[in-house]
Structure 1
Amino acid sequence: MGSEDAAGKTGESAAVSTAVNFAEQAKDFHEGVKAPNRSFLSICKSLFAGGVAGGVSRTAVAPLERLKILLQVQNPHSIRYNGTVQGLKYIWKTEGIRGLFKGNGTNCARIVPNSAVKFFSYDEASRGILWVYRQQTGQEDAELTPLLRLGAGACAGILAMSATYPMDMVRGRLTVQTEKSPTQYRGIFHAVRTVFIEEGPRALYKGWLPSVIGVVPYVGLNFAVYESLKDWLIKHNGLEDYSELGVTTKLLCGAAAGTVGQTVAYPLDVIRRRMQMAGWKHATSVVTGDGKSKAPVEYTGMIDAFRKTVRHEGFGALYKGLIPNSVKVVPSIAIAFVTYELVKDILGVEMKISE
């Protein structure tokens, strides 16, 4: 019995030692990235702040978002929307104020969780990447480089896009519908159900590949440029931390980030939208293969969509809607970043981006 007791005590000691080692490793991890433990309440607050940021920023530019999509998919042989001002006036005249915000409810239903996941994922990815970077370099006070921020932003964008992509697919089709078009979709859930039944579950992810490829430079550059600009301003002006930067300064940083990101990724957004509309006979307009047939264009994949678009409409077609999109993106990204940080300050969330 004595030997059994000794063995039991030895096992208990080993278990305690293992638990202590795990606790010390976890402590080292958090101390290594100089960030507090993420409580459940803190995570919820961070997700909420990201959702609010997405909803506010997207609603503020909803008319420009709808016009951008209409410009992207309209038939080049039947032009209805010719520029930002003319396009907005035409929508107002033919559909009223409700037309300017058509699809915004669906858009917010998608962008709120998308934004929540994106900002939260960026926070967490930044912490993880920073820890690995410090372990590899042996520099405990090392900070994130622009390239590492680009990687963290890319991870966040891919996760957010994949999680909410079916909502984006449905939002695109609801946005393209007009009162003169045959009514097919009555709302979000009806659209999802109709697409699932008539076109199959894979149709809900049409254009997913160019979306994921496009989100890497877009979201990655947004975060990398925004955070790097703030770092530069703090060091250049001899400030203590991010809280000393004014709202106007942060808005300008966000505007610059949005401009860079959307310019690089815009062609992929056009291809994604066209792939989403492919095969849907009730779209407002379809791009015909020979300029005469009214049959919807079918794409075998992302490369085929690029090839057919450039061949039939020229390279400039990849930038259709870029002007209203630029007008939209500049305030949208800026508002999203600043709103996110303001809401986190109000809620008292301990960890901010890049801290």
Structure 2
Amino acid sequence: MSKSFTTSPHMDQALSGFGAGMVSTLLLHPLDLIKIRFQVDTAKRSEKRPLMGGTIKAFKSILANEGFTRGLYRGVGPNMAGATASWGLYFWWYSQIKQSFRNSDEQMLAAWQHLAASAAAGAATAVMTNPLWVVKTRMCTTTHDSPDSYRGLIDGLRRLAAEEGLRGLYRGLVPGLLGVSHGAIQFMAYEEMKKSRNQWRHGQGITPSSETNARLTTTEYLVMAASSKVTATIMTYPYQVLRSRLQNRETKDSYKGLVDCVIRIYRAEGYGGFYKGLAPNIIRVLPGTCITFLVYENMSQWFKNHAR
């Protein structure tokens, strides 16, 4: 077993993911809120608008009508809880599963192993954190003054469990599990880019080829993180719209299930309906992913440097 700063290398990875999720979520929550409000909008868009025009207009409108804290940061509690728990649990599972594939700490994993580890870690994390995302969606799609709206994370979880039971807590889980493909594609691409770059640097006599010992530059991490995230986002985005529609309090009873949701969105809104909110999501993805991976990689490296 490799040396670690805490009780195990897997715990180091979990703490790195926890810190990364907390920082990126706190900074970029307003774009998450705008994205979700676009996703649950069931109206068919009658005219084309500039890619960023709707996002900027929504930002200004929410700030003017609802305020900064109660408006742009409504739902930040469950979002912080969900993001930090998700990243922490994800990296803990991901580290554990990758280690199970290795015969030694120096062994380089194949692309399919990164894909399998990411998919398994994502599925486990989705099941454990789904109730937090339901509360987040419900809060982000209502205002602070909306009748019967959730006051916060604890109030939301309590009422959700009491009023809708287990079914309510796990609304949107199926598309959430389908969304595991997002993380799987992202991390496979990220790990393969890191591995390829490390092998090239090793060939140039710059750094070791070991996955555990190599250290890339900040710019290299940023480019790889952003590229892998954008690729995965564009390929898998519709699952986010489906999950938001099924979790939203106003639209949850409009659909009989996942298949019905897909059919009705297509009939009423066309293919564009599956990509509502993509603009603020992409705008959030670029800085969010860069922040997340920079914090994660730097915390991981710090833990390695101070391992006992």
TM-score range, shorter chain: 0.7 to 0.9
The residue type paired with residue 224 of structure 2 is C
RMSD, aligned α-carbons? 2.6
Which structure would you say has the larger Rg? 1
How far off its partner does 1:348 sit?
Answer: 3.4
Equivalent in the alignment of 1:108: 80
In the TM superposition, residue 42 of structure 1 has moved relative to its aligned partner by: 4.2
Taking a change above 3 Å as real, the CA distance of residues 38 and 247 of structure 1, as seen in their structure-2 partners, is closer
State how many pairs are aligned: 294
Q: How does 1:1-355 map to 2 (within 5 A)?
A: 35=2, 40=7, 42-76=9-43, 83-98=54-69, 99-131=71-103, 143-215=108-180, 217-237=181-201, 238=204, 239-241=206-208, 243-277=214-248, 280=249, 283=250, 286=251, 297-348=253-304
Which runs of 5 or more structure 2 residues have no equivalent in the other structure? 47-51
Give the 3-state SS of the residue equivalent to 1:102 in structure 2.
coil
Percent identical: 29
Cα distance in 2 for partners of 1:347, 1:149 equals 22
AA paired with 1:315?
A: Y
**Contact 1:221–1:261 (CA<8 Å) still a contact in 2?**
yes
> Is this contact kept in 1: 2:5–2:12, CA < 8 A?
no
CA contact (8 A) 1:271 1:305 kept: yes
In structure 2, the residue matched to 1:12 is none
The offset of 1:206, in angstroms, is: 0.7
Which residues of structure 1 form unaligned runs of 5+? 1-29, 135-139, 287-295
CA contact (8 A) 2:143 2:149 kept: no
Per-residue Cα deviation, 1:75-123 (whole angstroms, up to 9, x for no partner)? 41699x9621111111111112221121112201111111111011111
The secondary structure found in structure 2 opposite 1:348 is helix
Instruction: Tell me whether 190-199 or 41-50 shows the greater mean CA deviation.
Output: 41-50
Distance 1:36 1:48 in 2: 15
SS in 2 for 1:165: helix
Q: Is the 1:259–1:330 contact (alpha carbons within 8 Å) kept by the matching residues of 2?
A: yes
Tell me the distance in 1 between the aligned counterparts of 2:306 and 2:126.
Answer: 26
Query: How much does 1:39 deviate?
Result: 6.8
| 3-state SS of paired residue (1:341) | helix
**Partners of 1:46 and 1:349 within 8 A in 2:** no
- CA deviation vs aligned residue, 1:154-185 (integer Å, no higher than 9, x gap): 11111111111111111110111114521421
TM-score normalised by structure 1 residue count: 0.76
Runs of 4+ in 1 over 4 A off after TM superposition: 35-39
Cα distance change, pair 49–141 in 1 and its aligned pair in 2 (3 A): closer
Q: Secondary structure at the match of 2:179?
A: helix
TM-score, length basis structure 2? 0.87
1:213, CA displacement in angstroms?
Answer: 1.2
